Structure 1
Amino acid sequence: MNAKNRRMARGLVTGAVLLGFAAATPAFAEGSWTSYITGWTPGKESRRWTDNNTDAASTSVSFSGCSSDGGTGFRQAGLKLWKDVFGPDDDQGTKSNTCNSVYWGDKASGKYYFELWSVTSGGQLSVNSVTTRY
């Protein structure tokens, strides 16, 4: 193989490797928002968001800096994900958040929100940072 052909082959291999790295980059969630919670009681709802389902990202809610008014401190919060539809909203399931992240999987397109379903130890929940990804 002459020098010109070797350079061309090397260029093709380098290009293929770089293209492979570009294709291997992780997929990011379609959207997210960050907020906080102060003095929530069961039945309180988050803001609503629209998931256009343009990706395969799991819908998640992450808490950090959690506290409750119970004598034993915060242990967990039950969060129920709802799909906002005409008529009764569609229950997407309840997860126990222990001041970490909970996941509901890749959801169909639509409008969603979560509800504080329960608080273990106390009746009010406060969270320094709430991040919702979808």
Structure 2
Amino acid sequence: MKHVVTLMAVAAFALVPTATSAAAAPTEGGFSSYLRGVKAGFNSRTWTDQNSDAVNTAIHLRYCVIDEDSSITPELVVRLWRERFGPDQKVGTDKLYRCAGRGERKSWGRVPSGKYHFEVRSVNGGDSLHVSTRANGVVVAF
């Protein structure tokens, strides 16, 4: 069951094709995107990991700022969920302290095949709907 939170602000999460090069290691999948107006409780799009390669499931956030004060680098708590019939299964939760500039990457290792999404659990230590963040670079690899 996907967790849904009604937000007063619009959170954008657009899909942009991922560029690959001949020198890159083969991966099953991934996508690049961005976040806008994201608050605690935001859920990403869902992706399917068939676990057909040796690539870890990871999220890389870059160029993050707080919408209300762009001089503040946000501290985000991100949780990876495995979707299933009934309640979704929590895979893991981690903090991203350094997502400004080149950003920060968090990996959950190899995960079983299934459908996944990530949730922004908190922004700067709180679950307040009064603070929002944006990231100009989001890369999910699986």
> Is the deviation greater in 103-112 or in 116-125?
116-125
Q: CA deviation at 1:74?
A: 1.7
Q: CA deviation at 1:29?
A: 2.3
1:73 maps to: 72
2:61 maps to: 63
Could you list the runs of 5+ residues in structure 1 that have no partner in the other structure? 1-24
2:119 maps to: 115
1:105 maps to: 109
SS of 1:54's equivalent? coil
Residues 82, 31 of structure 1: alpha-carbon distance in 2 compared, 3 angstrom cutoff: same
Letter in 1 for 2:134: S
2:81–2:89 CA contact under 8 A, matched in 1: yes
Q: CA deviation at 1:120?
A: 1.0
**Cα distance in 1, alignment partners of residues 26 and 66 from structure 2:** 32
SS of 1:45's equivalent? coil
Deviation by residue 1:81-106 (Cα, 9 ceiling, x = unmatched): 00010000000010112211110000
> Is the deviation greater in 41-50 or in 26-35?
26-35
Q: Where in structure 2 are the equivalents of 1:45-56 lying within 5 Å? A: 45-56=43-54
**Cα distance in 1, alignment partners of residues 24 and 42 from structure 2:** 34
The alignment covers a number of residue pairs equal to: 110
**TM-score, normalised via structure 2 length:** 0.71
**Cα distance in 2, alignment partners of residues 70 and 95 from structure 1:** 24
Larger Rg computed on CA atoms? 1
Letter in 2 for 1:118: S
Deviation by residue 1:44-92 (Cα, 9 ceiling, x = unmatched): 1000000000012110000111001465612321100000100000000
Q: CA deviation at 1:26?
A: 7.3
Residue 132 (structure 1) aligned to one of 110, 119, 140: 140
Could you list the runs of 5+ residues in structure 2 that have no partner in the other structure? 1-22
Letter in 1 for 2:38: W
